[in-house]
Amino acid sequence: MNNFLEQYLIERYRQGELEKATPGPVVTLSREFGCEANIISQKLSEKLVSHYSAIGQNSNWKIISKEILEASAQKLKTDSKKLEYVFEESRTTIDDFLLSLTARQYYSDWKIKETIKKVVHSFAHDGYVIIVGRAGAQITRDIQKALHVRLIAPFQWRVDHIAEKHNLSSKEAYRKVKEMDKKRQRLLETFSKDSDCHHCYDVHYNLKYLNTDQIVSDIVHMMQLKELI
């Protein structure tokens, strides 16, 4: 476990300290399947660090994604790979029952998801993080110092992109995008407090018409307008 996670696990669950601090700032990056967020999050982090350096301050904006599973696994004292299903396909009630009979250390689907919620919210509360995926917008919608971004693109554009990236036929890519869209919709609904989880976002960017630099530049501008930086 890296030093960042060690520090997080020691400090971020001290509720008394959290209550004294102003939550954020945080940026969440949600994306439709087939819309890449890694390059955007990396360039955004670099630009934010440069912004603070230019005004004589130090602020290391961190990109958070897999760390959420790792920190959640530490809290539950289990392997992070056993939690990956939450972001892929939920267990059924029958699965829960059968696992409870056979697993030495068993955690219900509800317990795992509640732990993930707390971990995501704690990272966001601590601030200066870019949360990629993991239903970040739905979980942290209550934090005022936040910007929630959604990356989108037309369905066929995403199909073509997935086909090229993974060397799939158009038919295979079509099936994959359809399948993943349904899974991600269920995931967002699971973690959303509102009936329409797609109303959680402040801004949508269409990757078919905007390039990475344009999106990053506009996100920074939006952050300035919202007084996050």
CA dist list (Å): 124 to 25, 63, 65, 95, 102: 7, 11, 12, 32, 36
Per-residue tens of pLDDT for the chain, all 229 residues: 556 665 655 555 555 454 546 899 999 999 999 999 999 999 999 999 887 765 666 678 899 988 888 888 888 887 777 777 777 644 444 344 334 434 444 456 778 888 889 999 999 999 999 999 999 999 999 999 999 999 999 999 999 999 999 999 999 999 999 999 998 888 888 888 765 667 889 999 999 999 999 999 999 999 999 999 8
Residue 212: burial class (beta carbons within 10 Å; 0-12, 13-18, 19+) = middle
DSSP 14-31: -HHHHHHSPP--EEEEEE
How is the chain split into domains, by residue range?
3-69+113-225
Reported CATH class of domain 3-69+113-225 = alpha beta
- pTM of the predicted protein model: 0.79
